[in-house]
Amino acid sequence: MIKKLKQSLLAAALAALCGHTHAADVEVLHWWTSGGEAKALAELTKKLEANGHRWRDFSVTGGGGDNAMLLLKTRVVSGYPPMAAQIKGPEIRDWAEDGLLADIGDIAKAGNWDATLPTVVANAMKYEGRYVAAPVNVHRVNWMWINPEVLKKAGVEPPASWDALIASAENIRKAGFIPIAHGGQPWQDFTLFESVALGVGGADFYRKAFVTLDPATLQSATMTKVLDTFKSLRKLIDAGANNREWSAATALVINGKAAVQFMGDWAKGEFARAGKQPGRDYLCLAAPGSDKAYTYNIDSFAFFRQRQDDARKAQADLANALMGAEFQENFNLAKGSIPARTNARMDRFDDCAKRSAEAFRATAQSGGLVPSIAHRMAAPEAVQSAMQAVVSSFFNDPAMNSREAQTRLVQAVSANAPQR
**Interface residues with ligand BGC (CB under 6 A)?**
31, 37, 63-65, 139, 246, 266, 297, 299, 375
* Closest to ligand BGC by CB, 60 or 108: 60
Q: Could you give the CA distance from residue 128 to residue 206 in angstroms, rounded to a whole number?
A: 27
Least distance in angstroms from the C-beta of 266 to ligand BGC: 3
Residue 65 or 82: which CB sits closer to ligand BGC? 65
In angstroms, what is the minimal distance from the CB of 87 to ligand BGC?
A: 11
Closer to ligand BGC at the Cβ: 14 or 248?
Answer: 248
Rounded to a whole number of angstroms, the minimum distance from the CB of residue 143 to ligand BGC is 13
Compare residues 135 and 159 and give the one whose CB is closer to ligand BGC: 135
Least gap, CB of 31 to ligand BGC (angstroms):
5
CB nearer to ligand BGC: pick between 177 and 296 = 296
In this structure, the strands spanning 258-262 and 126-127 are unpaired
Minimum distance from residue 342 beta carbon to ligand BGC (Å): 20
Beta carbon of residue 374, minimum distance to ligand BGC (angstroms, whole number):
8
Q: Of 65 and 159, which CB lies nearer to ligand BGC in the complex structure? A: 65
Of residues 231 and 341, the one with the C-beta less far from ligand BGC: 341
d(CA 166, CA 368): 25
Nearer to ligand BGC by C-beta: 194 or 299?
299
Least CB distance to ligand BGC at residue 389 (A): 17
Min CB(183)–ligand BGC separation in Å = 11
Q: Classify each residue of 295-326 as buried b or exposed e, where b means 16 or more C-beta atoms within 10 Å of its C-beta.
A: bbbbbbbbbbbbeeeebbbbbbbbbbbbbbee
Closer Cβ to ligand BGC, 82 or 269, answer by number: 269
- Nearest approach in angstroms of CB 78 to ligand BGC is 25
In the complex with ligand BGC, the residue whose CB is nearer, 139 or 408, is 139
Secondary structure string (H, E, C) spanning the chain: CHHHHHHHCHHHHHHHCCCCCCCCEEEEEECCCCHHHHHHHHHHHHHHHHCCCEEEEEECCCHHHHHHHHHHHHHHHCCCCCCEEECCCHHHHHHHHCCCECCCHHHHHHCCHHHHCCHHHHHHCEECCEECEEECEEEECCEEEECHHHHHHHCCCCCCCHHHHHHHHHHHHHCCCEEECCCECHHHHHHHHHHHHHHHHHHHHHHHHHCCCCHHHHCCHHHHHHHHHHHHHHHHECHHHECCCHHHHHHHHHCCCEEEEECCCCHHHHHHHCCCCECCCEEEEECCCCCCCEEEECCEEEEECCCCHHHHHHHHHHHHHHCCHHHHHHHHHHHCCEECCCCCCCCCCCHHHHHHHHHHHHHHHHCCEEECCCCCCCCCHHHHHHHHHHHHHHHHCCCCCHHHHHHHHHHHHHHHCCCC
- C-beta of 276: minimal distance to ligand BGC in Å? 17
